[in-house]
Amino acid sequence: MTMKTVDGTNALDCPVLTDPTKQNEVYSYLENLKKDNAGWRRSVENIVGNLIRNHEEHFLLLQVVEDYLRKRYSQATIEEIEIIRTFLRNWMQKLASGTFVPSFLINKMGHIFSIVFSVDFPLRWPRFMQEVFLERGFPHQSNVHFYLKTLISIDQEVVDRDIERSKRAFDRNTKIKDAMRELCIKDCAESWWQILENPNLSADHSLVFDVVAAYIDWIDLELVATERFVPLLIKGLSNNESSEAAVRAVEGLVQKDGEGEDEIHFHDYRKQLRQLINPIGTKRVQLVVEPIEQMVSQVLLAGTASNIRLVESVVQLVYALSEMIPSTFTQQTKEKRRMACSCHATTLGFIASDTS
Domain that holds residue 281: 222-356
Look at residue 350 and tell me if it is in a domain.
yes
Please work out, in degrees rounded to the nearest 5, the angle formed at the alpha carbon of residue 186 by the alpha carbons of 183 and 189. 135
Of 97, 198, 194, 203, the closest CA to residue 149 belongs to 203
76-100 average pLDDT score: 96
Average pLDDT, the chain: 81
| 153: Cα within 13 Å, side-chain hemisphere | 19
Answer whether 202's CB lies under 8 Å from 240's CB.
no
Of 295, 279, 289, 283, the closest CA to residue 343 belongs to 289
Cα–Cα distance for residue pair 285/85, rounded to 1 Å: 49
Residue 348 is predicted with a pLDDT of: 47
Look at residue 81 and tell me if it is in a domain.
no
Look at residue 3 and tell me if it is in a domain.
no
pLDDT 10s digits, 221-254: 789 878 788 888 878 877 878 888 887 887 777 6
When mean pLDDT is compared across 72-81, 140-149, 179-188, 297-306, the lowest value belongs to: 297-306
When mean pLDDT is compared across 55-59, 282-286, 329-333, the lowest value belongs to: 329-333
pLDDT 10s digits, 184-210: 999 999 999 999 999 999 999 999 999
Residue 304 is predicted with a pLDDT of: 73
pTM summary value: 0.77
Residue 143 is predicted with a pLDDT of: 96
At 336, the pLDDT band (50, 70, 90 cuts) reads very low
CA distances from 127 to 13, 117, 134, 351, 352 (A): 39, 10, 10, 48, 52
Look at residue 92 and tell me if it is in a domain.
no
Kindly tell me if the per-residue pLDDT of 292 is higher than 80. no
115-132 average pLDDT score: 97
What percentage of the chain reaches a pLDDT higher than 90? 47
Look at residue 74 and tell me if it is in a domain.
no
Residue 338 is predicted with a pLDDT of: 53
The domain total for the chain is 1
Residue 333 is predicted with a pLDDT of: 46
Which stretch, 140-149, 248-257, 327-336, 341-350, has highest mean pLDDT? 140-149
Look at residue 348 and tell me if it is in a domain.
yes
- How many other C-beta atoms are found inside a 10 Å radius of the C-beta of residue 191? 20
Look at residue 250 and tell me if it is in a domain.
yes
Look at residue 355 and tell me if it is in a domain.
yes
